[in-house]
Structure 1
Amino acid sequence: MVGKMKIAKRAIYITTIFFALFIVVLIVASQKDDNTVDVKSENVDYGKLDDIVFSVVTDKAIVGDLIIKISANGKIRADKELEVSSNISGVIDKINIYEGSQVKKDDLLIQLDDREYQLALKEAEDQIMTARVEYGLLKKGLPKDTSSIKMADIYYKNLEELEKSFQNGSISKSEYTKQKDDLDMKIIFTGAKREDFILNKSGVSRSTNTREKAQLNIMHTQIKAKFNGIIGDFNLVEGERINAGETLFKLFDTNQMKIDINILESEISKIKLGNTVEIEIPAIPNEKFYGSVKRISPYIDSEDGTCKVEVAINNNKQKIKPGMFAKVLIETNTLENRLLVKKEALLVRDKRNLVFAVEDSLAKWKYVKLGDENEKYYEILEGVKEGDDIIISGHYNLAHDSKVKVIK
């Protein structure tokens, strides 16, 4: 028991010694810190702070129109974009274009080998000659009977009545067809359709249709431009065989370009046809373009809650290419005679909006109340007045009454 008491006393003694040493260390450390602050304080000359002059850039607070804009992004496309194909199959005989060619409407772009179709045309003309001989013989052999013309008029009236009965559902389609064929034959035999009958019987009608088809095919061997534009996606060579309906290349009308953008349903009511649009194209830096709202979709996409808007832009200098990315700013409203400062001027300190104004080479801290805004300006409702020199650069480290030097 005595041994246990000795061990307990020793533990208390050791703990007391460690605690005393800990207190001594804390006192020494605090004295060392105090000495450091004192040294630093002795080296700072607070009077020299008043001699620091900050270089700043200013801009006047102005009264002007605040143009409210809605921003969106989109891809540029040509006003007209046509996938050119051939109506017939054939072999390319001559190519008059290349990638990027400027063409005009009705220019001959590609000529197909037309020899096969020229032969078809000659055969059709020969058939017409034979048919005309047959036509003459048939016409000469038919009797000239004009006594049944009155009967033809009756049959025509019957045909009109039959047509009305079929339209109002009085007779079935099969009965209508049967009676119509019967009346057509009666009209033919009255002589009223004698000329049509002879043309059909002799083969003149068929051979004439064959000739017209051959002429049409010859016309299709010439692939021409449908409108003024530029050739793109072109990769053909002379002698290559193409198939009917196959896309050969694209024709773009790039004098006028379009941008498809999506506007939130909450903002679409602010946009009207003809609104001015400012356009920035990253691929063409340091240059702005202007267009207008051309079309507004009549419905809202239920998936993303947006409405499609089409913007038109002139491209007379041909700088803009289809597929380029564009940022657009659509002017929706103009607020007249508003006090404005540039957005770069605004600072937030202690959760309050403020700007610095230069007065007698000093930066004056001014709290402001904001109104509307656009991408460039804030409307100021309270805090500054027109003509104040507002600091827009070099103001992040300023305090009230800091000395400043205005630079350009």
Structure 2
Amino acid sequence: MKICHINFNSMQISTIMNPKRLTKPSSFKNIRVMNQVSLFLLVLLSVGLISCGNKNKSTSVDSSSDSAEISDQIAEVKVAPLKYSDFSKEIISNGKLKALYKSDLRFRSSSEVVSDILFKNGMSIKKGQVIAKLDNFTLLNSLKQSQEQFERAKIDLQDILIGQGYNAKDTINIPKEFINVARIKSGYNKAIADLEMSSYNLKVSELRAPFDGVIANLFSKANNLPPASEVFCTVIDDRKLEVEFTILENELNTVKVGQTVRITPYAYADLTIIGELTQINPLVDQHGMIRVIAVCDNPDHKLAEGMNVKIVIEEKIPNQLVIPKQALVLRSEKPVVFTLSSGLAKWNYVETSMENTTSFIVTKGLNAGDTIIYEGNLNLAHDARVIVIK
């Protein structure tokens, strides 16, 4: 309700409240003036009432126009048909990546300085390639001395055999016991052992890769003695990696060797690698956990040993009404899913059971064949007008 205000000055108010001020019985002129004033006030009051009526009408028109404009607003939504499908029950765990093949390499001798280092951390290497070398002057000299000693012992052995009337080249007819004694006396056996050791020491003065992989943990410098008790470097075959993680004991009946797993490193949230379950430890620890191992490929070499990863094991549950998580919204703290019917959004209270990272199973409130709204539904109301976009 609106109130119309008409402004009068003090003289007009006084006249209306006390018209006798203009009236004198002896003066006809005053009577005529009073009638004119009354007529003027009546006209003024009529004009004011008409003006107020027009303002109220204008305000009413504006209000109805705003309401019409609000009611004409149409929300844009995305929809999908609801049908029975497989639901992926998920077991989620965390673990660390480990190389399937890994070798810590050391020099056998720490008495010679490192003369050359041919690789750096992160570099790829092939099996048999030399990673680093020790200075081999002393080792070569030792090998020459061992070879010379061997030749001398061989001559001494022949002298012993000839001295006993045997043909040194025909060892088949010489008694085995006598041959063994002659080898010991001549130093032949020791010479062979020394020669083999000298050859081995020279061979292991070069550190070689035992398999294809990448170099890691190489921190030594050339022209320094190699660390005596520490690893010189590590070779990691990063083409295949394994991840060790744990599951609850009540989840054991849902996993099996050969099952597919999804592995997502936290360093690359958009990268998912498919792996395979290879080992299940048949032992429950004191915390009710079971250790499990899966193996995955690393074709782009993005994964590295020690990376923290999320592991998802999926179990398919068939014939379920599955909706995307974004289709479910809360209204009055209750789960609601909007469906599309004749261009209008319909409000449906629902009940759900299991969920995974992307979807819910609906057990009540929806039927197969319903068209659910899964995008643009946050601010919808019941029977709101909507338009479907792609």
TM-score (norm 1): 0.71
SS at match of 2:157: helix
Percentage of matched positions with identical amino acids: 27
Distance 1:81 1:365 in 2: 59
Deviations 1:86-123 (A, max 9, x none): 11222122222112211000011112111111111122
Sort the Cα spacing of 1:369 and 1:285 in 2 relative to 1 into closer, same or farther, 3 A.
closer
Residues 44-66 of structure 1 deviation map (CA, whole Å, 9 limit, x = unaligned): 97965654533433333132221
1:58 aligns with 2:79: yes
Task: Please state if 1:254 is matched with 2:238.
Answer: yes
Q: Give the Cα separation in 1 of the matches to 2:232 and 2:129.
A: 16
- Tell me which residue corresponds to 2:309: 326
Q: Deviations over 1:121-149 (max 9, x none)?
A: 122222222222332233344488xxxxx
Which structure is higher in RCO with an 8 Å CA cutoff and minimum separation 6? 1
Matched, 1:385 2:360: no
How many angstroms does 1:284 deviate by?
A: 2.1
Give the match for residue 406 of structure 1. 388
Match in the other structure for 2:200: 216
CA contact (8 A) 1:86 1:246 kept: no
Offset at 1:235? Answer: 2.4
Match of 1:335 in 2: 317
Indicate conservation of the 8 Å contact 1:88/1:243, yes or no.
Answer: no
Judged with a 3 Å threshold, the aligned counterparts in structure 2 of structure 1 residues 50 and 269 are, in CA distance, closer, same or farther, namely same
Gap change, CA 1:309 and 1:138, over 3 Å in 2:
same
Unpaired runs of at least 5, structure 1: 1-41, 145-189
**Which of 314, 330, 335 matches 2:297?**
314
Residues in 2 aligned to 1:44 and 1:82: alpha-carbon distance in whole angstroms = 81
Distance (Å, rounded) in 2 between the aligned partners of 1:143 and 1:289: 76
Give yes or no for contact 1:85–1:246 (8 Å, CA) kept in 2.
Answer: yes
Q: Is the 8 A contact 1:87 1:245 kept in 2?
A: no
Instruction: Indicate the SS of the match to 1:247.
Output: coil
Q: Kindly tell me: are residues 79 and 114 of structure 1, through their superposed partners in 2, closer, same or farther at Cα, counting changes over 3 Å?
A: same
- 1:82 and 2:78 equivalent? no
Q: Does structure 1 conserve the Cα–Cα contact (< 8 Å) formed by 2:257 and 2:279? A: yes
State the alpha-carbon separation in 1 of the partners of residues 128 and 117 from structure 2: 15
Change (3 A) 1:200 1:244: farther
> In structure 2, what is the Cα distance between the partners aligned to 1:284 and 1:349?
36
Structure 1 residue 250 displacement after superposition: 1.7
What is the CA–CA distance in structure 2 between the aligned matches of 1:207 and 1:320, rounded to whole Å? 51
The alignment partner of 2:367 has SS state of coil
CA distance in 1, matches of 2:227, 2:362: 68
- Structure 1 segment 113-192 matched on structure 2, within 5 A: 113-142=135-164
Question: Would you say 1:226 and 2:248 are equivalent positions?
Answer: no
Q: CA deviation at 1:271?
A: 1.2
Q: Which amino acid aligns with 1:135?
A: L
Q: Residue in 2 aligned with 1:105? A: 127
Change (3 A) 1:44 1:395: farther
Secondary structure at 2:320 match in 1: strand
Amino acid at match of 2:132: I
Query: Are the equivalent residues in 2 in contact too, given 1:364–1:400 (CA < 8 A)?
Result: yes
CA distance in 1, matches of 2:269, 2:216: 25
Structure-2 residue corresponding to 1:364: 346
| Alpha-carbon distance between aligned partners in 1 of 2:212 and 2:141, rounded to the nearest angstrom | 33
Once the two structures are TM-superposed, the CA of residue 76 in structure 1 deviates from its matched residue by 2.1
* Cα displacement string for residues 138-169 of structure 1 (whole angstroms, at most 9, x for unaligned residues): 3344488xxxxxxxxxxxxxxxxxxxxxxxxx
Counterpart check, 1:96 vs 2:78: no
Tell me the amino acid that sits aligned with residue 288 of structure 2. Answer: G
Partner of 1:3: none
Q: Distance in 2 between matches of 1:92 and 1:277?
A: 45
Tell me the amino acid that sits aligned with residue 301 of structure 1.
D
Matches within 5 A, 1:222-301: 222-301=206-285
* Equivalent-residue separation in structure 2 for 1:51 and 1:235 (angstroms): 72
Give the root-mean-square deviation of aligned CA atoms.
2.7
Q: Give yes or no for contact 2:243–2:294 (8 Å, CA) kept in 1.
A: yes
Q: Which SS does the other structure have where 1:366 is aligned?
A: strand
Deviation per CA, 1:17-65, whole angstroms, max 9, x where unpaired?
A: xxxxxxxxxxxxxxxxxxxxxxxxx999796565453343333313222
Q: Are the equivalent residues in 2 in contact too, given 1:86–1:245 (CA < 8 A)?
A: no
For the residues of structure 2 that align with 1:381 and 1:79, how far apart are their CA atoms?
44
Q: Distance in 2 between matches of 1:139 and 1:211?
A: 23
- The answer (yes or no) to whether the contact 2:220–2:226 under 8 Å persists in 1 is no
Q: Distance in 1 between matches of 2:228 and 2:140?
A: 18
Cα deviation, residue 352, structure 1: 4.9
Rg (Cα) greater in structure: 2
Give unmatched runs, 5+ long, in structure 2: 1-59, 167-173
* TM-score of the two chains, using structure 2 as the length reference: 0.74
Mapping for residues 28-39 of structure 1, pairs under 5 Å: none
Structure 2 CA distance, aligned partners of 1:243 and 1:383?
A: 71
Task: Give, in angstroms, the shift of residue 366 of structure 1.
Answer: 2.0
In the comparison of the two structures, how many residue pairs are matched? 320
Amino acid in the other structure paired with 2:113: V
**2:154 alignment partner, SS class:** helix
